[in-house]
Structure 1
């Protein structure tokens, strides 16, 4: 039957891998062994004057979703709900630039930990997998040895610590030990660690586990500064480092050829007014040969076979009236977070 042959062809094509056909990954890229992508995005600050930290984390959240990581593989932790703060002149909205290009607190935001749930204990338990047995699946980091994990932290910090809720702190040693537990328990393949806070590089200095690439918005002894104020809101609405990261990510797409080296250079001191720190000695691959989508995108593993696949002869059924109707689905896409003059027309 002709339709049966078509079905066989479709299955064969959809299960091909590039390698059996002699297609190779471009030379400038090094192959990753990861099979899935996760993101842990954490805002640790409370109070209205820290509005920018919520905008920081929601902007990164929106970017990784746009590039393919689903909500089921994103853990979003927000210490304070700025969208519902009584001081917010535009309730249910959070903007990341004064142009108010887009509300990053949109209809599809799924917050996994909010308010006082964002604590040092919950954060460490999340990373190490030591959560109570009744913890909902949406609040668990269900990674494995094939997982590439993006960890993004923003808030207030100092030399060797990051504050949570303005009442407790996680130290650089505690964080390093948590990542080592993850490695010993085979909970990751590679980690890309980003932190935007004052003296941020102090938080990765104690790391000793393999396969971790880390970057920070400032070195020890330096402050991480805000970018600009929205006069309609009355507070700073985004930090400098995250602002330039977003400006870069807005020009990255799922088929991007950009590398991690390009990402690590997004905010020179002339723009950030602080020195961006990078630690790459624990990372086996050359960042210049690692596509940015290895951490900000989502892998779609494909298996190739040239063997014939037998399928059952499924009896025909009568098409219903609804099935006969031609329905044109509305094409949807993510709107740019920044004003259009900052978003290039390139697909790189």
Structure 2
């Protein structure tokens, strides 16, 4: 049946012709239907609350619900989001499994933004799922330094408190101001403690503070007092302890019993009433740091006036998390086809009107987000200015320097991690992107002279070692295979490479890509085709020693066959401690003494013309402290008192794929095939985050040789 006014003429091919009036009539009907549908949608949409998930504990030392409800009520009192009220959907992680509760939010299509979780380990567990579902996660309290580097640039993972790298920086700033020249570090072996362990040596080096002792301990460890005793033997001015109240009290008692004049400095984890109740009068004078709000925002005073008590450490960032979530939803009202990631970016990088966290500020921020140029949001915790490269983190945080006085924690002063103000944008990167100062590069005379070897080179040999075991050490095996691949692509045959790699990662149950190792996300399988000479339990420090010195045994049939005209390249990626490189699970160690003896033996037996060691381990510089045999160049990713960091995180397999130093070396060599050893050092130095690349030459090594020419058969 045809609509009135339609005339039809059927041709032989069945085409229908419709006159102009009919076309206009159909268009009008469709427009009316669309308008009706849109009006209906708008009416329903306008009355639908904006649901925002909350994945936080509702009980405990940190109070999250109070600032969230305050922020919600303030937003709704100002008209909500385009007239839509904000509704908070709580899932209490204090009484349920955080990962399971987070998955429930992922499966709920009515919720696109979730505030939480408060623990860094839970952020790592949930972030890949949120990224895959293109939902936003905003944590107000997860402070691991690794979160920034793991999830930067993806746009879906954010937090309203800077990572604890900033707290490390503030602590060292305080101690430097006290004239401290030597500290020891005791850090809990946890996701929380790892950041302090990873970064204290870096900032100490920057500030000229010696760290002769650095150690992690398990919470409640029975050997903690012995650790304190060992730390005190280095005569530090302070022990910096990253510990919760029980362990902090143990450390304090051990110091007091020793009679040492060493003082104790604590982090925010210890700043709980349990510390004072445990120590009693002995707690008097204890000092530490903890996150707080920018004192110029007035949030602390307003909170205390409204609720009758001072806010907990993360109250201001929690308030700000909901503020960012609400403004992101407002941005979506304005730009419904924009991705959530882009909407968050627009919110946190706004540069127009400066708005505050109170009712009037929120009203202005909402109106401008909906209709005007994007405002610069200043929250309860301060100006919400974010890392320009990676996002995720604010670039400035505020910390209270507290002291126990008359049985209570009292703020001595408030410090800003970046010396910023709320009156101007400073731009830049967060503390978690800190790189070494140019003035602290290695500068021995052997790195400035020109040398030409008197003996012509006749051949080239390489030894590549990735001795770490287990899924968590994926990056070490990947680093070794990446360097192996670099040499093979540069024309070096397998006959000239001895590859020692534990090689369990391709087949461990945790690996979702069986048989695969890659060093860049979605990259090629660099394990395929690699010919390993030693794997598994055969990859030991003793095996390495035999390989290097040419000592052939039943267990080491493949060894370095070299002479006085052989250029040798040695690469090692593993865990390290001061004076040690770890093989396997730690039962086998290559010590500084072993390394020195090995190089002396090789020199004595004329087993090399020149040797270039590239070592990617924590505390890497410490291995070459006593090396004097001529013809050796030693390049490492970390100074003697600092760890080194992972570089690339793969959210699909949830693992670090490479280390900062190795990644910097490979990308530099791939970009410039003519770069010399002398030129390589400063290039890699400025690329590496969180450690000081070190280069040592014992002399009689031609550092003006192009590296890729040296790494050639």
Give the alignment's TM-score, normalised by structure 1: 0.71
Q: CA deviation at 1:249?
A: 2.3
Tell me if structure 2 keeps the 8 A contact 1:39–1:73.
yes
Tell me if structure 1 keeps the 8 A contact 2:498–2:560.
yes
SS of the equivalent of 1:109 reads: coil
1:215 correspondence with 2:624: no
Task: Report the RMSD for the aligned CA atoms in angstroms.
Answer: 1.9
Match of 2:688 in 1: 271
Match of 2:514 in 1: 91
Q: 1:175, 1:29 → 2: CA distance?
A: 24
Match of 1:23 in 2: none
Change (3 A) 1:286 1:148: closer
Q: CA deviation at 1:271?
A: 3.2
Q: 1:232, 1:88 → 2: CA distance?
A: 11
2:534 corresponds, among 93, 99, 113, to: 113
1:147 corresponds, among 544, 550, 566, to: 566
Change (3 A) 1:296 1:141: same
Change (3 A) 1:269 1:293: closer
1:284 correspondence with 2:700: yes
Q: CA deviation at 1:155?
A: 0.6
Q: 2:474, 2:635 → 1: CA distance?
A: 23
Match of 2:608 in 1: 188
Aligned length: 262
Tell me if structure 2 keeps the 8 A contact 1:80–1:114.
yes
Q: CA deviation at 1:40?
A: 0.5
2:712 corresponds, among 289, 297, 302, to: 297
Within 5 Å, give how 1:1-348 maps onto structure 2: 30=452, 33-98=456-521, 100-106=522-528, 108-132=529-553, 136=557, 139-166=558-585, 167-252=587-672, 256-269=673-686, 271-280=688-697, 282-287=698-703, 289-298=704-713
Say which structure, 1 or 2, has more relative contact order (CA 8 Å, 6+ apart).
1
Tell me if structure 1 keeps the 8 A contact 2:457–2:567.
yes
CA offsets 1:266-311 (integer angstroms, 9 cap, x no match): 323563321000102x132452x2121343112xxxxxxxxxxxxx
Q: 1:200, 1:134 → 2: CA distance?
A: 28
Change (3 A) 1:154 1:135: closer
Tell me if structure 2 keeps the 8 A contact 1:148–1:188.
yes
Match of 2:217 in 1: none
Tell me if structure 2 keeps the 8 A contact 1:196–1:241.
yes
Q: 1:192, 1:135 → 2: CA distance?
A: 23
Tell me if structure 2 keeps the 8 A contact 1:156–1:163.
yes
Tell me if structure 1 keeps the 8 A contact 2:579–2:623.
yes
Tell me if structure 2 keeps the 8 A contact 1:63–1:249.
no
Q: CA deviation at 1:85?
A: 1.5
Tell me if structure 1 keeps the 8 A contact 2:547–2:556.
no
Q: 1:197, 1:205 → 2: CA distance?
A: 15
Change (3 A) 1:29 1:207: closer
Unmatched tracts of structure 1, length 5 or more: 1-27, 299-348
Unmatched tracts of structure 2, length 5 or more: 1-449
